[in-house]
Amino acid sequence: MAEQPLHRVVVAGGTGLVGRALVKALLAHGAEVVVLTRHPASAVLPAGAKAKGWEKPAEALEDADAVFNLAGEGIADRRWSARRKQALLQSRVGPTEDLVEGLRACAHRPAVLVNASAIGYYGAVDDDTPLSELAPAGMGFLPDVCRAWEAAALPAKELGVRVAIARIGVVLARRGGALPKMALPVRLFAGSRLGHGRQGLSWIHLHDLVEMLLEAARNPAWEGPFNATAPEPVSQAVFLSLLAKRLHRPLLPIPGVLAAAGLRLALGEMGRDLLLRGAYVHPGVAEAREFTFRFPSPEDALLDLL
């Protein structure tokens, strides 16, 4: 199958960590990039990208080759109240529905919609069972959000638009995302295991994530959900040990149960679901499509980022 050209591309949610890196990569490949944002006048974008508001998404989507949807408020930005959980859900489902309606109004639609989701789709798994894209959805708030997010994107298929859904793992980057937050207590000689430490940490280097998103847009064989994770998920305890070794710091011998209790007290449901639970998610589709990871192991990623 011929590759999908990426001459003109729309990125929804192009001002976040992943969005900014994706926009830079598209510009480096010579694409014209339009970023859909709620605040186009104040959006800080890489040179060459254009900002456009959400009022009439069809105008931005008309004649585009592809659209990436990364829109959504940060899951770990603050404690989950009932109001916050509703905002997290709506900030994902609402823009996705708006994009599909914009596609419906287009005379010349993009060939592909690459829509973000998350490995939260699978929920928490208590053992190290590897999860492929065929694994069922889990139970709880995060799986519910991911199911609704993905369901909002699927009607684009009825419009003749290929839909590829990226279930994104924990993104590791130099600035922003999870790694600086995880590294800070270790740097300050205050790092310790969280809970029992056996919970799976399914991660991906920002560089590999961007390349995978681009491949999903270009290659017509990528359709439906795919796990945007590295091929070597590890336990949280192993990752922290590697992190401490890279930073030349010891880990505190604090019993995991005490650290877990502190997290529950400080962060509530968010701390439990994001830090004390996990899953070992494998990139089955990416491996079947022979995607090349530049950073396949956590050692490779930490060596590059720290």
Domain residue spans of the chain: 8-238+265-305
Phi/psi for 25 (5° steps) reads -65, -40
- Confidence (pLDDT) at 127: 81
Alpha carbon 235 to chain centroid distance?
19
Which pLDDT tens digit goes with each residue over 91-117?
A: 999 999 999 999 999 999 999 999 999
Instruction: Give me the residues of the chain with pLDDT under 50, please.
Output: 258-273
Q: Token pair of 5, please?
A: 């050209």
Alpha helix stretches (DSSP H) within 189-283: 206-218, 236-247, 256-267, 269-275
Q: Tokens 């456009």 identify what position? A: 52
For the domain with range 8-238+265-305, which CATH number is right: 3.40.50.2300, 3.40.50.150, 3.40.50.720, 3.20.20.70?
3.40.50.720
Contact by Cβ (8 Å): 188, 181? no
CB 143 within 8 A of CB 121: yes
Question: How far does Cα 117 stand from its chain's mean position?
Answer: 7
Quick one: pLDDT at residue 1?
65
- What confidence score (pLDDT) does residue 276 get? 63
User: Under a CB-based contact definition with an 8 Å cutoff, are residues 81 and 32 in contact?
Assistant: no
Give the whole-angstrom CA distance, residue 269 versus residue 10.
Answer: 35
pLDDT at position 161 is 98
27-65 in b/e form (b: 16+ CB < 10 A) is beeebbbbbbbeeeeebebbeebebbebeebbebbbebb
> How far is residue 262's CA from residue 255's CA, in Å, rounded to a whole number?
11
Q: Output DSSP code: residue 276.
A: S
* Both tokens assigned to 230: 């590295």
d(CA 128, CA 139): 18
- Do residues 48 and 24 make contact, with C-beta atoms less than 8 angstroms apart? no
Among 203, 201, 205, 202, which residue's Cα sits nearest to residue 173?
205
Nearest to 159 by CA among 67, 33, 52: 67
Whole-Å CA distances, 235 to 6, 194, 284: 37, 11, 19
Neighbours of 108 (CB within 10 A): 8
**Cα gap 193→182, rounded to integer Å:** 11
pLDDT of residue 235: 94
